[in-house]
Amino acid sequence: MRKIAVIDKGICVACGVCVKACPRGAVAVYHGCYAVADGAACVGCGLCGKACPTGCITILERGDAK
């Protein structure tokens, strides 16, 4: 099953580190407020989550992502 990055908007500080870490360009900062992952582009590699200084990114199986 494929995986996807899920970002907790309440913890995200919109620093952009995850955007730089994503090799597929699947993460963007939304209006300078928080990061979002594009479900069509994200493959769940986990690089954004490893780079995130706040730990707000979790990699989940697509069926578990909400």
Judge whether 36 lies within some domain: yes
| Contact predicate 19/27, CB 8 Å | yes
pLDDT for 47: 98
pTM of this prediction exceeds 0.75 = yes
Positions of the chain with pLDDT lower than 50, given as ranges: none
Q: What pLDDT, on the 0 to 100 scale, is given for residue 63?
A: 78
DSSP-based three-state secondary structure for 19 = helix
pLDDT tens-digit series, residues 43-61:
999 999 999 999 999 999 9
Residue 47 lies in a domain: yes
Q: Provide the 3-class DSSP secondary structure of residue 21.
A: helix
Which residues, 6+ apart, have CB-to-CB distance to 43 below 8 Å?
2, 3, 24, 26
CA 16 to chain centre: 10
Within a domain: residue 66? no
For residue 65, the model assigns a pLDDT of: 61
Yes or no: say if 57 and 36 are a contact pair by the CB < 8 Å rule.
no
Number of domains forming the structure of the chain: 1
Confirm whether 38 is domain-assigned. yes
CATH of the domain at 27: 3.30.70.3270
Is 43 a domain residue?
A: yes
Note down the domain range covering 47.
3-61
